[in-house]
Amino acid sequence: MSTSLKNMPYELLEILTTDNESILSDGVESLTEMYGPKRDPLYVVIPITIIYLLIFITGVVGNISTCIVIARNRSMHTATNYYLFSLAVSDFLLLVSGVPQEIYFIWSKYPYVFGETFCVLRGIAAEMSANATVLTITAFTIERYFAICHPFLSHTMSKLSRAVRFICVIWLIAIVSAIPQALQFGVTNQGGIDQCVVKRIIIQHSFELSTFLFFFAPMTMITILYALIGLKLRTSTLMQRDGTLQRRTQPSPRQSFANSQGSRRVLKMLVAVVVAFFICWAPFHAQRLVYIYGVNTNHQPSDPLILKLFIITTYISGILYYLSTCINPLLYNIMSNKFRQAFKFDQTFLRSLLKSIRINSKLDFVEYADCKIRQKTSVADILRSQPTPRLNLDWLTIYECGIRADKNIASIPLTGRWYLMECAFDTRTNQRKIRERIPE
C-alpha cells in the first residue's frame, strides 16, 4: 500500500473534503485547491522515481538471489537460513506490492482508478509483508541470542521443524494483524474524485497499536538482545585471553589479530542491524502518527508546519521504508562467508547462461557430442572443435557421456561447473579431481 495513503488518517480527508461540492463547480483549479496538485514538480518526482526504481531492482535481485542460494544449497538448510528465506520472501512481497503503486501515485495522486477490491487487497499485502518482515527479524534475533548466549538450549530451539513452525506462526500473526488494519481502507467518492483512504474505523487507535507492536516492541527487544550478544562475545574474548595467560602460552600475532578483527566485525554488524532497523522504520511510523496527534479538536492542523512536515516526511519515510528490503540481504546474508561461497557458484551458473548465446542449436551440439563419444572421440577434442554450449545442460550431457565412456573428468572444462559438481556427486565420482580444477 502506498505509504502516503497508509499514513493518511480519516481526519485529514475531512479537511480536504470540507464543502467540496460547492468548490468542485469551479473546475480543475478547484480540484487543485481542494486536493492539491495532481503531482509534485518534475524536479521532485523524477529523482524520487529513479530512487524507487533502483530500490525495486536491487531489492528484487537481492532477495530472489537469497532465496535461490538457500534453496539450492542443502548445506544452508539450517534454522537460521530458514528465517532468512522467510525474510527475503516478505521483503520481496513488500517491494512488489508497494513500489509500483508508490511510483504510480507519485505521478498521479488522484483519482484512484483501481477499485474497492484492489484498495483492500493491496492494503492486506503491504501490511502483511511489513509485519512479517519485522517479526522475522525479531525471531531471527532471538534465535541468534540463544545460539550465542545459550548454546545448549539452542540445540532444541534451532531444530528445522521448530523453525518451520515458528515461521508459520509469524506469517499467521502477520496475516491476522493485517486484515483488520487493511479492511479500514476503502474507496470514497468526494466531489466526484475516488480516493483509497481510511473509510471506516474497525479498531480504535489501530495505528498507535501497530506502531507499538511492530516498531517499539521489536526495536526494544532487538536492541536488548544484540547488546547481550555483544557483551557475551566481548566476555568470551576476554576469557580466552585470560586463559592463554594462565597457561603461559601466547597466541601468535596473526591469530590475535584475526580474533580481534573477527570480534570487531561481528560487533559492527550488530550495531549496523540495530541502527538500520531504526532508521528504516522510525520515519514510517512517525509519519503515521504526525496527523493523529498533529490536529486539533476541529480536525485542523495545530500548526502550519505540521502539514509541511507531513509532505516532506512522506517521501523520506517511503524511501527508507522500502530501502530496508535492500539492506536486509546485505546485513543478514552477504556478510556470511558460507552465503558468499554459495552465491559464487550460482553466479557462475547464471553467468555461463548469459555468455552462451554463441551456439545456435543446443540439440545439434548435444547430438554431435554424443555421437562422437560413441566413436571413442576424446571429450576434450569435441569441446575444442565446438563453440561454448548455450546451456549448462549441454555440459551435463557431455559429462554424463564422458562418464559412460570412462573419460577423465579433468579433460572437461568447468564452464558449467555448478551442474558439473552436482552430477559428480550424484554419480559418486572422485570429487577431488573436480575441486582441483575450480579456481579460487
Q: Which residues lie closer than 8 Å to 112 by C-beta, 6 or more apart?
A: 119, 187, 194, 195, 196
Which of 248-262, 288-302, 307-321 is the most confident on average? 307-321
Which architecture characterizes domain 3-223+281-336 according to CATH? Up-down Bundle (1.20)
Task: Determine the Cα–Cα distance for residues 69 and 105; give it in Å rounded to an integer.
Answer: 34
Question: Which whole-number Å values give the CA distances from 294 to 102, 213, 350, in the listed order?
Answer: 24, 22, 52
Asked if pLDDT for residue 170 goes beyond 90, the answer is yes
Whole-Å CA distances, 296 to 12, 301, 427: 11, 6, 74
User: Is the model's pTM score more than 0.85?
Assistant: no
Task: Give the helix/strand (H/E) hosting 211.
Answer: helix 206-211
pLDDT of residue 256 exceeding 80, the answer is no
Nearest to 377 by CA among 396, 403, 405: 405
Question: What integer pLDDT is reported at residue 342 of this predicted model?
Answer: 64
Share of the chain above pLDDT 90, in %: 10
pLDDT in tens, 150-166: 877 766 666 788 889 99
What is the phi/psi pair of residue 193, to 5°?
Answer: -115, 120
Q: Where are the domains of the chain?
A: 3-223+281-336, 356-435
pLDDT at 415: 44
| Interval 201-205 mean pLDDT | 81
Q: Is the pLDDT of residue 250 over 50?
A: yes
Q: Lowest mean pLDDT: which of 95-104, 145-154, 249-258, 428-437?
A: 428-437
358 vs 313, which has greater pLDDT? 313
Give the count of alpha carbons within 13 A of 428, CB side only: 0
Q: What is the mean pLDDT of the chain?
A: 69
Cell of residue 324, nine digits = 530496508
327-378: per-residue pLDDT in tens? 887 876 656 666 666 666 555 555 554 454 444 344 444 544 555 444 545 5
Q: What pLDDT, on a 0 to 100 scale, did the predictor assign at position 340? A: 64
Q: Which residue has the cell 483509497?
A: 196
Between 365 and 98, the higher pLDDT residue: 98
Q: DSSP string spanning 336-380?
A: -HHHHHHHHHHHHHHHHHHH-TT-S-HHHHHHHHHHHHHTT--HH
**Are 403 and 428 contacting, i.e. CB atoms less than 8 angstroms apart?**
no
